[in-house]
Amino acid sequence: MFLPEEVDNKTFRLFVQRAWFLHNNRIALSPAEQELVDLILAHPEIQNAFTRKMLDISRLYKPEEENPFALLAALWEINKQVNADKPKGVRSIFINGFPENMVRRERQRRLARAFLRLCRSGEKAISDAKYVHDLEREVHTDFSSSAAEREITGERGTYNIYINNLIHESFSSVSSSFYKEADNQVLSAGVKLAAAFNRLPSEWIEGMAAGWRRPEKATRKERIQDLCEFLLSPQGFLEISAALSAEERQVVKMIMDNGGKLLYSKLEKAFGGESGDDYYWSQHPPKSVIGRLRYKGLLVIGKTAGPARHYKVAVIPKELHSVLKNL
């Protein structure tokens, strides 16, 4: 189980907005994205919020306001608990704990709001049995009371620490699928810096700009142009020289010795992969050696055509060859 406010953060809000954008533009969704969209469509109080202009992902909701992100996060978690019957007994509450004529949407909403109240109960440890017992008790709370409304919409309280891996696993899966999508671009050995950056997700461009402490830019195009100019400038060379670790320099040398392009599998074997890196670079910069070089804008990953199939490769953009050789 997760604590909703741990998920109702910029990362979660970006993920929700991406899913909603893809849905509205009839672009294929991942299973996790589809699950979120289905919940939004099933709950008018959330859908009404998402049919307005793009929500402010940094917005703080007042106690009297309903936070659609927090409610959606709780609905998502409850949906997973019911489907998996984990903790055991949650599915029974969903099926047998309400009047027979109560529709699925209302059952989900009542469970989600009960779950949010339990998360704010202040208990520091809780067993599966107690959680199921307390959840069943809470679903019958009067939801019209102002106290209950505050529980579902606003202020953070003290949270219990009853946590399992359902949400963590979901986000790991989502992050992995986004990485695969980003790494599926076809690259040539002579790809130029701007062309390589244009293939990257906006989230990564923002993360790279933040990592190099670049000034804010109004558009993605301007941000990419600023990054390219910086990395190829004398000041950029000095900052790159200071920022590269010994291990990162070894990666660069290994790729440059191979003409600026290397099979990813060889690099992974020598320095490890990126399995622990988060997709949302602006929130969680990569920690792997390969990931750190990507985060610095010095390395891009993609596919190259082979005789029978595509191969995953690591490429240093063409203009950076002379810069990195001088290191």
pLDDT at 208: 94
> Alpha-carbon distance 183 to 303, whole Å?
7
pLDDT at 256: 94
Same domain, 250 and 156: no
> pLDDT tens digits for the chain (327 residues)?
444 445 566 777 888 888 888 888 888 888 888 988 999 999 888 888 777 655 566 777 777 777 888 888 889 888 888 988 888 888 988 888 888 888 888 888 888 888 877 776 655 556 778 888 888 888 766 443 443 343 333 333 333 333 334 445 555 555 666 777 788 888 887 899 999 999 888 889 989 999 999 998 888 899 999 999 999 999 999 999 999 999 999 999 999 999 999 999 999 999 999 988 888 888 789 999 999 999 999 999 999 866 667 889 999 999 999 989 877
pLDDT at 135: 82
In a domain, 28, yes or no: yes
In a domain, 68, yes or no: yes
Q: For 87, phi and psi rounded to 5 degrees?
A: -65, 150
Cis peptide before 215 (omega within 30 of 0): no
pLDDT at 241: 93
SS3 content of the chain, % helix, strand, coil (to 5): 55, 5, 40
The last residue of a domain, from among 169, 197, 220: 169
Same domain, 233 and 147: no
Same domain, 19 and 153: yes
pLDDT at 307: 63
Residue with tokens 């399992």: 164
Same domain, 244 and 319: yes
Same domain, 187 and 143: no
Domain that holds residue 94: 4-169
pLDDT at 125: 58
Same domain, 149 and 188: no
In a domain, 178, yes or no: no
Which residues is 38 bridged to in the sheet? none
Same domain, 155 and 191: no
Using alpha carbons, list the distances in angstroms from residue 55 to 112, 244, 258: 22, 38, 46
Amino acid (one-letter) located at 143: F
The last residue of a domain, from among 122, 139, 169: 169
Would you list the DSSP string of 71-115? HHHHHHHHHHHHHHT-STTHHHHHHHSS-TT--HHHHHHHHHHHH
In a domain, 82, yes or no: yes
> Alpha-carbon distance 46 to 64, whole Å?
16
Tally the domains of the chain: 2
pLDDT at 120: 67
Same domain, 193 and 287: yes
pLDDT at 223: 93
In a domain, 175, yes or no: no
pLDDT at 1: 45
Same domain, 231 and 321: yes
